[in-house]
Structure 1
């Protein structure tokens, strides 16, 4: 069952990342200007922010299986509409406002379903994992996310070398709809109930209220990790151009290479965690944030490419621990019947980062090119201290 959840999470995120390399290019061909493209992408993140907690709660009520299937199917359907609108807009000889609004609205609808399957999969994993194995099992889903972050752009980039910008979208549609059918067939209709799977755990942990300062500490420190991962996607090529002195073309290529390095490091770290280290959720976060901060600070003093490589390796390792520990740690501070709700809340923090980090990061970058990295580091340190204050007061084997 855990392998099925891994695959569902991987496919869902591949649905996002395969199209990323060509999204700006195809949007430009569709007569959209950069600000409109930015708004369109932000609308998708806004939908994720609004709907992720709702999907999590719905998975508590109606079951994980149906929500996971709806997520894959919904993404597939709205990607079809997305492609149709791109075709119509590109075919027109000039910009047509109706197509702009249609593309923006479709991106919002896509965003509604982007976190649906991962949210339900995280909750499902919490349902079938013991507290002892929770961190390791959640790390496997984090590995699926990291794998999609690496493979998605590579697949999309290779497919787009044919010159057909629609091919990554067609590939994504086929993948999502195919796995909608596969998951419908292989996911058990009757999920093992929470009481059956965790009778022992529930006796030990009892009932917990949903929101607490401890949960807030996990969400804030997790948000600091996502701020970095999302912000670097926008800032890396700009920083290479302005600080290292690369041309626009060179900075784009180098930026892609650095993100491959970051993604591979993220995957290898998560494999190490699953196979060897087996850190608790709390220990992963305790180790991860200092690595993240060190990598950010190294970027600000980097004067050569090799220094940036080292910094992105550190950030990749830190992000791997941080992303994996967030889902596991948050799931351990709420009751078992609240796993869907907390998985949705975790997804919501990722959506917040997707909206705030690019906007705020680009704004303060114009003030000073090193300021975003220093801000991300400072925010990570502050949330880390808050996390430590609320998680080291007493030994808690559940976190």
Structure 2
């Protein structure tokens, strides 16, 4: 296993060689599924080989390995390891919380108009089962500043509000919500918060103690660059007795007293490949070794890159940036002209995104938001990206829209 970046003997321009991404593809969509670097994949393969060579020995040692991974993750996200459990993805974390809690007819579940669709579906499901009501705070977009998010959410609070499901960083629009202020305002009103932090770990400097949410879930496979299938769920200690995993297994009646039931149930939900969880420390270590300033410099570099990309694309398309720079991390969107094609329910991606891929091998999402025919183009910035990637996109976009008769 390669220990540090220096072992690769590569220059700053060669960061892409740490990844398996196809070199002829302009990959500007790290935000959707992340991309795991080669050294972390090598570490995962070692764990998998250990598992297959001697399964019983591996699982005898597994709990200590898992605890060590949680300890290092806890240091990275600013939380006690005893308050964290691993889950396969943030959506699973949202499901575990919402489907563990009890609601009654008349209770209100608060969220925003920018909540991620999968998680909003969980909220809808729970409301339908329990008779609770989903209340949606309309967050404007374009937006002038983070105070508008706070105003929109607080205006929708009522005496019936029992829980607020909030994004930390929105998927469709790439906005960093003022999550600490939101949690504080809601806590003062006696309302628990469930934060969907899918994009936060690795993109922003995350400190769960300072945020103070009741529940928080985040992905490790996105900006942390761990293997797919690694995420975490944080539950405040006084609420851990309420939260059960989606799969009930041996931990439900364990006689052990050295760990909480919260830990015992989530740590073992049946035989699975846990290598993605165990590689989280390797991902933290490797990504933090890429630049002299470690994770702080990496986050700053990615943010500067995506802001540069947003400025370039806004100028080419002659559109105004839809939010202030303070609300941007490593994701940014620009508004595109409306889609002039006939909407088809069987379509999986907008025509412009399809053409960018099929003709130019540019992998970048175009999102119907808040719905067809409105379109947003969302770019990501990770260390393997370079300025030329965004210049290539900026060069071909106007040509495509002229052909497409969208402007």
Say yes or no: TM over 0.5: no
TM-score by length of 1: 0.28
More strand by share: 2
Greater Cα radius of gyration, structure 1 or 2: 2
TM-score by length of 2: 0.28
More helix by share: 1
